[in-house]
Structure 1
Amino acid sequence: MRIDLGDDEQPEIGLIALIDCIFFLLMFFMAATSFKHPDGKKPEKNMRILLPTSQVSLDPATAGPAPLIIGVDAEGSLYIDGKRVSTQALHDLLKREAARDPAQPVRIDGDQAARYQDIVHVLDLCQFEGLTRVSMHTR
Structure 2
Amino acid sequence: MKIDLGEDQEPEIGLVALIDCIFFLLMFFMVATTFKQSEDKQHNRSIPVDLPKAAATFRPEEASSTGVLITVARDGTIYVDGAAITKGQLKDRLHDLAAHDTHTVIRIDGDRRAQFQDVVSVMDMCAFEGLTNLAVHVRN
TM-score (ref. length: structure 1): 0.61
Query: Following TM superposition, by how much is the alpha carbon of 1:90 offset from its aligned partner in structure 2, in angstroms?
Result: 0.4
Moved over 6 A (4+): none
Instruction: Give aligned-pair identity as a percent.
Output: 37
- For the Cα contact (< 8 Å) 1:68–1:105, is it kept in 2? yes
Aligned position for 2:3: none
Question: Which structure features the higher share of helix residues?
Answer: 2
Partner SS state of residue 57, structure 2: coil
Aligned position for 2:81: 81
Larger radius of gyration: 2
- For the Cα contact (< 8 Å) 2:68–2:107, is it kept in 1? yes
Cα distance in structure 1, aligned partners of 2:76 and 2:113:
9
- For the Cα contact (< 8 Å) 1:72–1:114, is it kept in 2? yes
Aligned position for 2:96: 96
Partner SS state of residue 119, structure 1: helix
The one-letter code matched in structure 1 to 2:57 is L
Query: Following TM superposition, by how much is the alpha carbon of 1:31 offset from its aligned partner in structure 2, in angstroms?
Result: 0.7
Aligned residues: CA RMSD: 3.3
Query: Following TM superposition, by how much is the alpha carbon of 1:58 offset from its aligned partner in structure 2, in angstroms?
Result: 2.9
Could you report, residue by residue, the CA deviation over 1:20-47 in whole angstroms, capped at 9, with x for unpaired residues? xxxx95x554411234648xx9x8xxxx
Q: Sort the Cα spacing of 1:85 and 1:54 in 2 relative to 1 into closer, same or farther, 3 A.
A: farther
Cα distance in structure 2, aligned partners of 1:71 and 1:59:
14
